[in-house]
């Protein structure tokens, strides 16, 4: 019986102690017609050797591809110590730190994480994580509406990751919140400031600003923040945490900085893993901290005046406030945050800045090599950070199929989400991409483009 230690003798002893003759009797309060032990699909049990074999085969069968794609998830170097330490049993199999005295390891780590994220984003407070980037944006939208009472419109630029927008709509649509679209300029691939200016009606709670945006382009964040604040709106920044090692942090945008900052934490030591588990981060100003969802760890003293850590401001959360909670979130992404904290400590600010710079330099190099091909050109006239949109003179489906067959994931085709970008591909090169890999990509791309 896998994972069940009882011997027959022990089972008998326990049944006797209870006063029943068999285990089935313990289920006698369940109406007999509801008992159904028949399973048609579940296969017979596998032992560990068998499941190991099956998993190795499945994992191997998917092969190995060179990733030139980002679009929300990025393949960065993960120091070996990150997952070795994060999967120690004391972290891996620990529960939510409700009994603070028995969880000082996790609690102190989360406090350090909060400190690191606050510094990275230049904000005053951080929570201890949400599920991932897109739903974190949804939570930020809900938070800004709560903070701005009576204002139920959000300005959402088209330069936000389409999946983030869709997720936000799914999560907020039943609470009477309207998401209004802001166009992007076809020339720069950034928010159309002129069009934006006309969108500030009285009911706008917040403006969402990505940096870099989905196209990899850099937005005019200072102007945008000041404009939004002048109109009485909050600013929700959506950022790449690794980029913040070198880019100006949202807390320093414009005169007063962003009000809420969210994003995807995956670049900080989390493997790609077909999309999850990742983690969402959220930081905000002290002023609106009581509206922030998710867990929050505070430093305090114990009965002997010694430093300790504990969950705090729990009155925001579902287990206390129930229907009046800031969010229904309970379990979040604790293990991923543990890994990210290890990552940031092992890399340090210098290591992270270097990884960010190398990613940027590699993307520039990639773009240079690819645009040297006839029929491939950069679309937007804008500074970009570690991702870039290319227009390619070849039917996109054919292109993707042909490049994939060469063991390369070429980038994210944009046609499905953006009407004017049917023939466009969002490419990305992180610090892990070598020049050989880029030359290989260019070689194959040229063959395919010139053939058509």
- Among positions 155, 207, 249, 366, the unique one binding other proteins when judged by CB under 8 A: 249
- Among positions 346, 371, 375, 417, the unique one binding other proteins when judged by CB under 8 A: 346
Write down the least CB distance from residue 29 to other proteins, Å.
5
Which residue, among 161, 199, 162, has the nearest Cα to 180 in the 3D structure? 199
Residues 56, 168: Cα–Cα separation, whole Å:
37
**Does 32 help bind other proteins (rule: CB under 8 A)?**
no
- Among positions 198, 303, 419, 436, the unique one binding other proteins when judged by CB under 8 A: 303
Binding mask 214-233 for other proteins (x = CB under 8 A): ----x--xx-----------
Site for other proteins in 417-446 (CB under 8 A): 431
Write down the least CB distance from residue 432 to other proteins, Å.
9
**Does 372 help bind other proteins (rule: CB under 8 A)?**
no
**Does 71 help bind other proteins (rule: CB under 8 A)?**
yes
Burial class (CB in 10 A: 0-12, 13-18, 19+), 84: exposed
CA angle 145, 150, 151 (to 5 degrees): 55
Nearer to other proteins, 198 or 405 (CB): 405
Residues 378, 343: Cα–Cα separation, whole Å:
33
**Does 378 help bind other proteins (rule: CB under 8 A)?**
no
Q: What is the CA radius of gyration of the chain?
A: 25
What is the Cα 265 distance to its own chain's centre?
Answer: 5
- Among positions 279, 380, 418, 441, the unique one binding other proteins when judged by CB under 8 A: 279
Distances (CA, A) of 346 to 108, 122, 123, 137, 278: 17, 21, 22, 28, 19
Write down the least CB distance from residue 355 to other proteins, Å.
6
Residues 220, 12: Cα–Cα separation, whole Å:
73
- Among positions 256, 404, 434, 450, the unique one binding other proteins when judged by CB under 8 A: 404
- Among positions 183, 289, 291, 446, the unique one binding other proteins when judged by CB under 8 A: 289
- Among positions 409, 415, 440, 446, the unique one binding other proteins when judged by CB under 8 A: 409
Q: Edge-to-edge strand order for the sheet containing 376-378? A: 376-378, 388-392, 424-427, 412-413
Binding mask 178-217 for other proteins (x = CB under 8 A): ----------------------------------------
Nearer to other proteins, 232 or 330 (CB): 330
Q: Binding-site residue total for other proteins (CB under 8 A)?
A: 197
Which residue, among 107, 383, 430, has the nearest Cα to 266 in the 3D structure? 430
Give Cβ neighbours of residue 20 (< 8 Å, ≥ 6 apart): 26
- Among positions 182, 224, 344, 388, the unique one binding other proteins when judged by CB under 8 A: 344
- Among positions 8, 63, 150, 451, the unique one binding other proteins when judged by CB under 8 A: 63
Q: Which stretch binds other proteins (CB under 8 A): 187-195, 199-207, 254-262, 272-280?
A: 272-280
Nearer to other proteins, 58 or 419 (CB): 58
Binding mask 132-171 for other proteins (x = CB under 8 A): xxxx-------------------------x-xx-xx-xxx
Give Cβ neighbours of residue 371 (< 8 Å, ≥ 6 apart): 377, 378, 390
- Among positions 180, 273, 422, 450, the unique one binding other proteins when judged by CB under 8 A: 273
Task: State the SS3 of 348-366.
Answer: HHHHHHHHHHHHHHHHHHH
Residues 57, 55: Cα–Cα separation, whole Å:
5
**Does 240 help bind other proteins (rule: CB under 8 A)?**
no
**Does 42 help bind other proteins (rule: CB under 8 A)?**
yes
Write down the least CB distance from residue 232 to other proteins, Å.
25
Q: What is the number of alpha carbons within 13 Å of residue 383 lying toward its C-beta?
A: 9
Q: Edge-to-edge strand order for the sheet containing 204-211? A: 125-126, 280-284, 260-264, 234-239, 204-211, 153-157, 178-182
**Does 99 help bind other proteins (rule: CB under 8 A)?**
yes
Site for other proteins in 310-339 (CB under 8 A): 310, 312-313, 315, 317-325, 327-338
Distances (CA, A) of 307 to 44, 180, 303: 52, 47, 10
Write down the least CB distance from residue 146 to other proteins, Å.
12
Distances (CA, A) of 244 to 33, 99, 122: 60, 34, 10
């Amino acid at each position: 019986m896998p994972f069940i230690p009882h011997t027959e003798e022990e089972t008998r002893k326990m049944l006797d102690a209870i006063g029943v003759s068999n285990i089935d009797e313990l289920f006698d309060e369940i109406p007999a017609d509801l008992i159904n032990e028949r399973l048609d699909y579940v296969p017979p049990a596998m032992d560990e050797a068998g499941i190991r074999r099956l998993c190795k085969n499945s994992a191997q069968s998917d092969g190995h591809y060179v990733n030139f794609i980002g679009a929300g998830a990025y393949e960065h170097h993960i120091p070996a110590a990150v997952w070795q330490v994060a999967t120690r049993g004391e972290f891996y199999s620990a529960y939510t730190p409700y009994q603070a005295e028995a969880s000082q390891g996790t609690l102190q780590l989360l406090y350090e994480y909060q400190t690191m994220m606050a510094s990275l984003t230049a904000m005053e407070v951080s929570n201890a994580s949400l599920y991932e980037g897109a739903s974190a944006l949804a939570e930020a939208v809900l938070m800004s509406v709560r903070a701005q009472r009576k204002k139920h419109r959000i300005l959402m630029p088209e330069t936000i990751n389409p999946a983030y927008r869709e997720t936000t709509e799914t999560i907020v649509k039943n609470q009477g919140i309207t998401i209004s679209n802001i166009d992007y300029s076809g020339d720069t691939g950034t928010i159309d400031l002129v069009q934006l200016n006309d969108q500030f009606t009285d009911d706008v709670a917040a403006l969402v600003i990505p940096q870099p945006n989905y196209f990899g382009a850099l937005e005019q964040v200072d102007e945008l923040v000041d404009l939004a604040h002048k109109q009485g709106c909050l600013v929700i920044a959506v950022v790449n945490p690794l980029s913040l090692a070198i880019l100006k942090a949202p807390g320093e945008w414009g005169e007063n900085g962003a009000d809420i900052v969210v994003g995807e934490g995956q670049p900080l030591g989390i493997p790609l893993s077909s999309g999850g588990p990742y983690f969402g981060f959220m930081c905000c100003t002290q002023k609106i901290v009581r509206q922030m969802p998710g867990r929050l760890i505070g430093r305090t003293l114990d009965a002997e005046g010694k430093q300790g850590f504990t969950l705090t401001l729990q009155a925001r959360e579902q287990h206390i406030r129930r229907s009046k909670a800031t969010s229904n979130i309970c379990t979040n992404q604790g293990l991923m945050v543990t890994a990210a904290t290890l990552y940031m400590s092992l890399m340090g600010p210098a290591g992270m800045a270097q990884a960010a710079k190398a990613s940027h330099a590699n993307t520039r190099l990639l773009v240079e090599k690819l645009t040297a091909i006839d029929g491939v050109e950069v679309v937007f006239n804008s500074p970009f950070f570690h991702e870039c949109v290319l227009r390619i003179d070849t039917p996109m489906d054919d292109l993707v199929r042909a490049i994939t067959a060469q063991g390369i994931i070429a980038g994210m085709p944009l046609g499905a989400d953006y009407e004017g970008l049917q023939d466009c591909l969002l490419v990305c090169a992180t610090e892990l991409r070598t020049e050989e890999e880029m030359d290989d990509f260019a070689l194959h791309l040229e063959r395919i483009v010139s053939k058509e």
